[in-house]
Structure 1
Amino acid sequence: MLRFAPSPIEDMNIGNLRVAIFNYIVSKQLNEDLVIRIEDIDAEKIIEGKDKEIIEILNLFSIEYKYIAHQSDSLKYHQKIALQLMSQKKAFACFCSDNKLEELKEEAQAEGKPFAYDGFCETLSDETVLNTNAPFTVRIKKPESNIKFTDLLRGNFDYTPLEVDSFVILNQGKKPTYNYACAIDDMIMDISMVIRDEKHISNTAKQIHVRNSLSYTKEIKYVHLPSIINEQTNLNSVKWLIDEGFLPSAIANYLVLLGNETPKEIFSLEEAISWFKIENISKKASKFDIDKLKFINKKHLETIDDMRLSKILGFADNDIGKLAKLYLNEFSTIKELKENITAIFAEKISSKDFEKEFHNIKNCLQKAPFFEDFEKLEKYVEQETNLKNKDLSKPLRYVLTGTYDGPNISDIYPLIKNYLGEIVR
């Protein structure tokens, strides 16, 4: 079993999406299920509806999963196991105030050392704990020996007991902390492999320590992916990229390609399953390149079914799909294509540079008979209006397309001729 564990406190970003995609690919390769675990323990930070938005995005990218679980549903189980650890003297109540802990952090910082809990409450007797009427957290005792694990991408890691520390597993509100809840959930879900961002490397040692303390012996394989460097914050949001007109298939293609060696540049997610090797991912952070994504998006738009493209643009006509593809020489997103198609069908009231010519041509076209090809139509308009050269070509193009430039009008006309009445209304 593999899991993707997003937190509903922000928009899904491209780094999170890449983690989801890699989990999906590897789950298919290993013939194991993928579960979505919404990490919603930190209720104060949760944005309402964000969990549903995350699922919608995963569905949009055709990421298949066995089921959806919310971490908060396991709260009683988290608390029960914490009590078990306390009864076994593997965890203890900590009455240290925030001020005291802050003092310890400042002392460690002044000495140039990493902060570690000083163990003050670890030796309190059961009688003292029972007679202390004060809020407390629950801390797990630090390990007695080093915590070692192997990352399939990065190799071996070795954390000392001091680095793992006696960290908090239940806060004063008796809610589980991230590392504790994550460790317990991976255990009860029988997770066999964890693929996630490199920022969690130190967390892995803490989570292994929790499971070791519970005598859980199943080995979980780990892959910590390098980060994606993105200088423009808005480009991090998957929702923003979709709204800007990037196809999910192109975004997925780019994220698999990023920092990876692939047999070809343009491919589908399903194709990637047959050759993807997660151990081939670069260990270095990769820079997000919007121009590269635009190139890949254009390639996917070039091969998309004409009818499907037409429906994405709000029509149901192969010709509209073909029409949109004429604009791919200059544009690369659905949003840009839609703007051009919208301009064609928008009502044109006037033309700043060719006011008189515009009205003559528009009136002429409103009365014109049907013509199969553009040359005959153009000749008809020329005869009826006595306009020639740019006085004819410029405003005629504008009446038909809403712009003065773009693909050859002779290529556009066969695809819009059946809509001429609507276009020149």
Structure 2
Amino acid sequence: MLRFAVNTTKDLSVSSLRVALFNYMLSKKTDEELIIRIEDIDKKNNIEGKDKEIIDLINLFSIEYSSIIYQSENLKYYQKLAMQLMAQKKAFACFCSDEKLEELKQKAEEKGKKYSYDGFCETLSDETVLNCNAPFTVRIKKPKESISFNDELRGKLSFKPFEVDYFRILTHDKLPTYNYACAIDDMLYNISTVIRDEDFISDTPRQIYLRESLNYDKEIKYIHLAKLENDVLVKDLIDEGFLPSAIANYLLSLGNKTPKEVFELEEALEWFDIEKFPKKSVKFNIEELKNLNKKHLELIDELRLSKILGFADTDIGKLAKLFLTEVSTIKEIKTNIEKVFSSKTIYDENQETFDKLKNCIKKAPYFERLDSLQDYISKEINLSKDKYIKPLKYILTGKENGPDISDIYPLIKNYLGEIVK
């Protein structure tokens, strides 16, 4: 079983999406289930509806998962196991206030030292704890030996006891801390492999130590992906008109040698090998994504592309692809299509010719070919082609540059009544 964690206090970034994609790919390669875990414990900072928004985004990328679980539904397990750790003297009540701890932290910093909890409350007697009415957190005792584990990308990593420290497992309001909830969840759902960003490496020994303290002996494999620099939000990329297939293609290609430049997720399953992915940080480059997005748009079915643009006509899909000589996203294509269908009333260069030309086209019968329409225009307004070709292109496309109207006309001839208005 693999899992991808969704944090409901923030938007989905491409670095998080990358983690989701890697989890999905490995789940397919190993024939294991993938679950989505919603981290909704932080009630104070939770954003309403963020879970659904992120799940909807994940679904755009065709990432298959077996179920969605919410941490808030597991509160009874977190609290029950915390009491077990306290009963076994592996964890203790800490009455130190946040203000006091912050004061100690500042003093340590003034001395140029890294703050570490001194274990003061660990030595309190049971009688003292019972007679104290002050609010308390629950801390796990510091390990006596180093915690080591093997990272599938980085090899063996080891953390000394002071690096693990006496960390909190329950807050003052008896809610689980991040590391504690994660450790328990991975036990409850029998997780076999954890794939996440390298930012979480220091959390791993704490989670391992927690499970060991609860006598959970199943070894979980860990893979910490190299950092993705220049992180951006997935929602912003979708809004800008990047295809999910191109985004996924790009994220799986970063720092990795792939058999082909343009591919779908299903194709990537044939060669996907997580151990061959980069161990050093990689940079997200929007220009590289634009180039790849353009190539995906060039390959997309014309009818499907037209539906994305709000039509259901293969010709509109073909028209959209003509604009790929100058643009690279759905949003940019839409802008060009909107110009085609926009009302054009003012022409700076020669308004009189423009008006005559526009009225002529409105009255013109249907012509299958552009040259037939041009012959008709020349006779009706008594102008040579070189005199009206620029305003004609503007009337038909909303601009004077871009693809040639001889390529555009066959695709818009059935829409002239909507275009010339």
TM-score band, normalised by the shorter chain? over 0.9
How far the C-alpha of 1:62 sits from its partner, in A, is 0.7
2:376 is the alignment partner of 1:385: no
Q: 1:414 aligns with which of 399, 402, 410?
A: 410
- Residue type at the aligned position of 1:347: S
- Residue type at the aligned position of 2:404: N
How far the C-alpha of 1:390 sits from its partner, in A, is 4.1
Q: 1:351 aligns with which of 347, 351, 357?
A: 347
Name the CA distance, whole Å, in 1 between partners of 2:356 and 2:401: 20
2:23 is the alignment partner of 1:27: no
Partner in structure 2 of residue 13 of structure 1: 13
2:55 is the alignment partner of 1:55: yes
Whether the 8 Å CA contact 1:354–1:391 is kept in 2: the answer is no
Partner in structure 1 of residue 263 of structure 2: 267
Deviates more, 1:10-19 or 1:97-106: 97-106
Name the CA distance, whole Å, in 2 between partners of 1:363 and 1:103: 80
Whether the 8 Å CA contact 2:13–2:232 is kept in 1: the answer is yes
Partner in structure 2 of residue 240 of structure 1: 236
- Residue type at the aligned position of 1:173: D
Partner in structure 2 of residue 164 of structure 1: 164
Name the CA distance, whole Å, in 2 between partners of 1:260 and 1:44: 40
Partner in structure 1 of residue 300 of structure 2: 304
2:75 is the alignment partner of 1:66: no
SS at match of 1:314: coil
Whether the 8 Å CA contact 2:196–2:223 is kept in 1: the answer is yes
SS at match of 1:274: coil
- Residue type at the aligned position of 2:261: E
Partner in structure 2 of residue 108 of structure 1: 108
Partner in structure 1 of residue 123 of structure 2: 123
Once superposed, what is the RMSD of the aligned Cα atoms? 1.1
**Structure 2: stretches of 5+ with no match in the other structure:** none
Name the CA distance, whole Å, in 1 between partners of 2:224 and 2:212: 21
Q: Percent identity?
A: 63
Name the CA distance, whole Å, in 2 between partners of 1:417 and 1:199: 56
Name the CA distance, whole Å, in 2 between partners of 1:280 and 1:149: 20
- Normalised to the residue count of structure 2, the TM-score between the two structures is 0.98
- Residue type at the aligned position of 1:101: L
Deviates more, 1:251-260 or 1:380-389: 380-389
How far the C-alpha of 1:162 sits from its partner, in A, is 1.1
How far the C-alpha of 1:350 sits from its partner, in A, is 2.2
Deviates more, 1:370-379 or 1:163-172: 370-379
SS at match of 2:62: coil
- Normalised to the residue count of structure 1, the TM-score between the two structures is 0.97
Partner in structure 2 of residue 371 of structure 1: 367
Partner in structure 2 of residue 36 of structure 1: 36
How far the C-alpha of 1:98 sits from its partner, in A, is 1.9
Partner in structure 2 of residue 145 of structure 1: 145
- Residue type at the aligned position of 1:106: Q
Name the CA distance, whole Å, in 2 between partners of 1:146 and 1:326: 62
How far the C-alpha of 1:387 sits from its partner, in A, is 2.0
Name the CA distance, whole Å, in 2 between partners of 1:72 and 1:263: 43
Name the CA distance, whole Å, in 2 between partners of 1:390 and 1:335: 33
Name the CA distance, whole Å, in 2 between partners of 1:115 and 1:279: 36
SS at match of 2:7: coil
2:83 is the alignment partner of 1:83: yes
- Residue type at the aligned position of 2:258: T
2:203 is the alignment partner of 1:198: no
Whether the 8 Å CA contact 2:40–2:71 is kept in 1: the answer is yes
Name the CA distance, whole Å, in 2 between partners of 1:157 and 1:108: 27
Q: How many residues align?
A: 421
Whether the 8 Å CA contact 1:364–1:381 is kept in 2: the answer is yes
2:181 is the alignment partner of 1:181: yes
Name the CA distance, whole Å, in 2 between partners of 1:120 and 1:399: 80
Name the CA distance, whole Å, in 2 between partners of 1:420 and 1:96: 76
Whether the 8 Å CA contact 1:331–1:337 is kept in 2: the answer is yes
How far the C-alpha of 1:149 sits from its partner, in A, is 0.3
Q: 2:399 aligns with which of 395, 399, 403?
A: 403
How far the C-alpha of 1:93 sits from its partner, in A, is 0.3
For residues 255-334 of structure 1, the aligned pairs below 5 Å read 255-334=251-330
- Residue type at the aligned position of 1:124: L
- Residue type at the aligned position of 1:67: S
SS at match of 1:351: coil
SS at match of 1:323: helix
SS at match of 1:32: coil
Residues 194-231 of structure 1 show CA distances to partners (whole Å, capped at 9, x for unaligned) of 0001110000000000000001011110111111111x
Name the CA distance, whole Å, in 1 between partners of 2:125 and 2:269: 56
Name the CA distance, whole Å, in 2 between partners of 1:354 and 1:62: 52
- Residue type at the aligned position of 1:276: F
How far the C-alpha of 1:375 sits from its partner, in A, is 1.2
How far the C-alpha of 1:110 sits from its partner, in A, is 3.9
Whether the 8 Å CA contact 2:374–2:385 is kept in 1: the answer is no
Deviates more, 1:350-359 or 1:303-312: 350-359
